[in-house]
């Protein structure tokens, strides 16, 4: 009986073991959607998931660089009056505009939706995973068969999910498995940055903050409206005004941000959850029109024949110019080392920001460059006598400027960031700053010759004797301009070259100028469809000039073109300029005559 009881106990124990084993089996076995993979096949699964992650990261990066597009909208060319195609070329990449003007003068938008971005990523990854390389495994004896991939992508603020059905059949020896379902979560701010970009775009379309700041730059750096006290017409070169405006616009646009202090002009009062940058380059396609002009000349005529002035002379010069400007701006939003960028066109029409228009909508499917010093360059810096110069070096690419350090015995041999047509800036005490266009996409070298500066004492001879009254003395060459307020400043630093020297002598005056009004006319775009087609109409405005007292008047001066060479700059200390006579004007007619005489008076230059 005891033996029988022992046998029953054994059977009970065995039963318990079977039940526990069954529980473990059903509890711990892979659930629905999971796959039990033999250890010998696990490396292939891991390799594919790594490839999937890499390709997703590449796709997300491309999408962020190209304004939310992997599949770009159809290309639309620009025209003579609309120098914008549907894409902006930036750092070698064509980025579709979110807002631009078509060649037909119609505004158009092409902003991707979140759904379209998910669809583009799905199609991208379905194609990309076909390039995942299993060659090394096949070389080890694995038999691998591939099916047709099908992906579902979901973009959230902080991550991108991908679910992929892709049959990968694997066999080796006695092990075999089919890897069919693959899922992955990529940490990415794509969704957040896209939604933030839409907010910035909508704020621009509502407030026109870029247009308003463009108007501010225009009024600061170009003649728009006003008057000057002068007895000769005012003349501007429209091409030079265009160049000066573009240079100023480039610097002011890059200063815009979302991190400024309260009441900071450059702070745009947008969200601080990301870093915002705004980029314009003066060499980008830009439409610049100004009226009235005579060819490339902007001319404002002096006033002299209005009622009340009689024969007082031409000493008021009122002006009113009308500008139409269209230029691109690249918007970059960054967070956690990711950057989403998109361009749009900024419009100023008739000196004022554009008004909202109905637009044609088309939907479809950066980090700091100084961190990537991955190109080598050898730079040798010498003076005109081929003596080495110790200089400071910096390299600029778009809005980034990288400090390279200094030369040693006139030489620098080290890294620079890769950039096409960057600017290498070389500075040294006692030398003119040198700026050189340099492409650093591959290793290379550069030979820089620095022009030495020579400080000279300037003395003016008027009516045969030394002059110590007030004067403005300017030295202008092709690439720099120096102005002295004489006699407070009598020293000028010059390099060898040709200079235009202009001198204006001035003294106290009490000439009274009465008030006047002058009409200025210009061509303005017509309203409605005719305006869109480029038709204009004549419009006129009255410019009022208030009564003024001239407290400082021109009493003499002149101009001359003179070439300085290294020999005389090196061996002489004083720069004497003569050939001037003082004439104190008592009336507007006399003041007018002084301007004419100064303009035609040629000076004499002697080095001592």
> What are the pLDDT digits (tens) for 481-537?
788 889 888 999 999 989 999 898 988 887 776 666 666 665 555 555 455 455 566
> What are the pLDDT digits (tens) for 202-255?
999 888 999 999 999 999 999 998 877 665 678 889 999 999 999 999 999 999
The DSSP code for 68 is T
Say if CB 526 and CB 536 are below 8 A apart: yes
Q: What is the DSSP string of 372-423?
A: ---EEEEEEEEETTS-B---EEEEEETTEEEEEEE-BTTEEEEEE---TTEE
Q: How are beta strands 360-361 and 375-383 bridged, if at all? A: unpaired
Distances (CA, A) of 602 to 231, 458, 592: 20, 17, 18
In DSSP terms, which residues pair with 481 in a beta bridge? 476
What pTM was computed for the model?
Answer: 0.55
Give the residue with greater pLDDT, 3 vs 374: 374
Q: How are beta strands 107-109 and 360-361 bridged, if at all? A: parallel
> What are the pLDDT digits (tens) for 242-293?
999 999 999 999 999 888 877 788 888 888 899 999 999 999 989 999 988 8
Q: What is the DSSP string of 243-275?
A: HHHHHHHHHHHHT-BS-PPTT-TTB----SSSE
Domain positions in the chain are 1-30, 42-190, 205-368, 370-450, 454-607
For domain 370-450, give its CATH number from 1.10.10.10, 2.60.40.10, 3.40.1440.10, 3.40.50.800: 2.60.40.10
Task: Locate all alpha helices (DSSP H) within 144-268, ordered by sequence.
Answer: 190-207, 209-221, 238-254
> What are the pLDDT digits (tens) for 533-567?
555 667 676 656 566 677 778 899 999 999 999 88
User: Phi and psi (nearest 5°) for 318?
Assistant: -80, 150
Say if CB 299 and CB 233 are below 8 A apart: yes
Cα gap 280→66, rounded to integer Å: 17
**Residue 195 tokens, joined:** 């939604």
Cα gap 438→448, rounded to integer Å: 11
User: Phi and psi (nearest 5°) for 74?
Assistant: -60, 140
Among 51, 88, 72, residue whose Cα is nearest residue 162: 51
Cα gap 366→398, rounded to integer Å: 12
In DSSP terms, which residues pair with 422 in a beta bridge? 438
Cα gap 43→50, rounded to integer Å: 10
> What are the pLDDT digits (tens) for 68-108?
999 988 888 876 666 778 899 998 899 999 998 876 677 88
Q: Is 92 helix (H, G, I), strand (E, B) or coil?
A: coil
In DSSP terms, which residues pair with 150 in a beta bridge? 165
């Amino acid at each position: 009986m005891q033996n029988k009881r022992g046998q029953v106990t054994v059977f009970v124990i065995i039963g318990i073991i079977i039940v526990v084993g069954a529980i473990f089996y059903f509890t711990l076995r892979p659930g629905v959607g999971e796959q039990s993979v033999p250890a010998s096949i696990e490396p292939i699964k891991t390799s594919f998931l790594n490839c999937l992650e890499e390709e997703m990261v590449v796709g997300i990066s491309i999408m962020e660089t190209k304004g939310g597009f992997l599949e770009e909208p159809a290309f639309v060319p620009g025209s003579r009056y609309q120098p914008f195609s549907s894409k902006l070329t930036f750092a070698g990449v064509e980025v579709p505009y979110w807002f631009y003007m078509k060649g037909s003068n119609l505004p158009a938008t092409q902003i991707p939706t979140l759904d379209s971005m998910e669809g583009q990523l799905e199609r991208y990854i379905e194609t990309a995973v076909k390039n995942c390389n299993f060659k090394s495994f096949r070389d080890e004896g694995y038999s691998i068969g591939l099916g047709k991939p099908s992906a579902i992508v979901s973009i959230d603020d902080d991550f991108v999910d991908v679910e992929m059905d892709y049959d990968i059949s694997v066999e080796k020896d006695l092990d075999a498995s089919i890897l069919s379902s693959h899922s992955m979560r990529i940490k990415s701010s794509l969704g957040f940055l896209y939604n933030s970009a839409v907010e910035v775009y909508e704020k621009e379309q509502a407030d026109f903050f870029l247009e308003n700041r463009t108007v501010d730059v225009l009024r600061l750096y170009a003649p728009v409206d006003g008057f000057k006290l002068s007895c000769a017409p005012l003349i501007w070169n429209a091409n030079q005004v265009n160049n000066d405006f573009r240079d100023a616009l480039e610097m002011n646009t890059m200063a815009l941000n979302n991190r400024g202090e309260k009441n900071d002009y450059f702070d745009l009062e947008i969200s601080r959850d990301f870093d915002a940058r705004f980029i314009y380059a003066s060499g980008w396609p830009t439409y610049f029109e100004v009226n009235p002009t005579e060819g490339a000349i902007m001319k404002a005529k002096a006033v002299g024949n209005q009622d009340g002035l009689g024969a007082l002379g031409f000493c008021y010069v009122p002006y009113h110019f009308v500008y139409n400007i269209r230029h691109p701006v690249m918007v970059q939003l960054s967070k956690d080392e990711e950057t989403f960028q998109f361009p749009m066109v900024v419009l100023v029409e008739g000196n004022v920001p554009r008004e909202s228009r109905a637009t044609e909508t088309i939907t479809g499917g950066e980090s700091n460059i100084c961190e990537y010093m991955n190109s080598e360059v050898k730079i040798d810096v010498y003076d005109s006598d081929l003596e080495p110069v110790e200089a400071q070096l910096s390299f600029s690419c778009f809005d980034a400027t990288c400090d390279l350090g200094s030369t040693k015995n006139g030489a620098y041999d080290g890294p620079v960031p890769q950039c096409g047509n960057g600017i290498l800036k070389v500075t040294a005490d006692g030398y003119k700053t040198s700026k050189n266009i340099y492409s650093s996409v591959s290793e290379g070298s550069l030979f820089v010759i620095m022009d030495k500066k020579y400080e000279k004492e300037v003395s003016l001879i008027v009516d045969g004797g030394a002059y110590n009254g007030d004067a403005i003395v300017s030295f202008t060459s092709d690439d720099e301009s120096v102005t002295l307020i004489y006699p407070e400043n009598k020293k000028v630093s010059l390099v060898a070259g040709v200079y235009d020297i202009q001198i204006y002598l001035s003294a106290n005056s009490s000439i009274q100028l009465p008030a006047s009004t002058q009409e200025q006319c210009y061509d303005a775009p017509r309203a409605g469809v005719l305006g869109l087609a480029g038709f204009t109409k004549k419009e006129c405005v009255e410019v009022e000039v208030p009564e003024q007292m001239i407290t400082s008047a021109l009493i003499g001066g002149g101009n001359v073109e003179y070439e300085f060479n290294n020999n005389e700059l090196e061996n002489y200390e004083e720069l004497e300029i003569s050939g001037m006579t003082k004439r104190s004007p008592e009336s507007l007619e006399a003041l007018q005559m002084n301007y004419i005489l100064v303009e035609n008076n040629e000076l004499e230059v002697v080095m001592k």
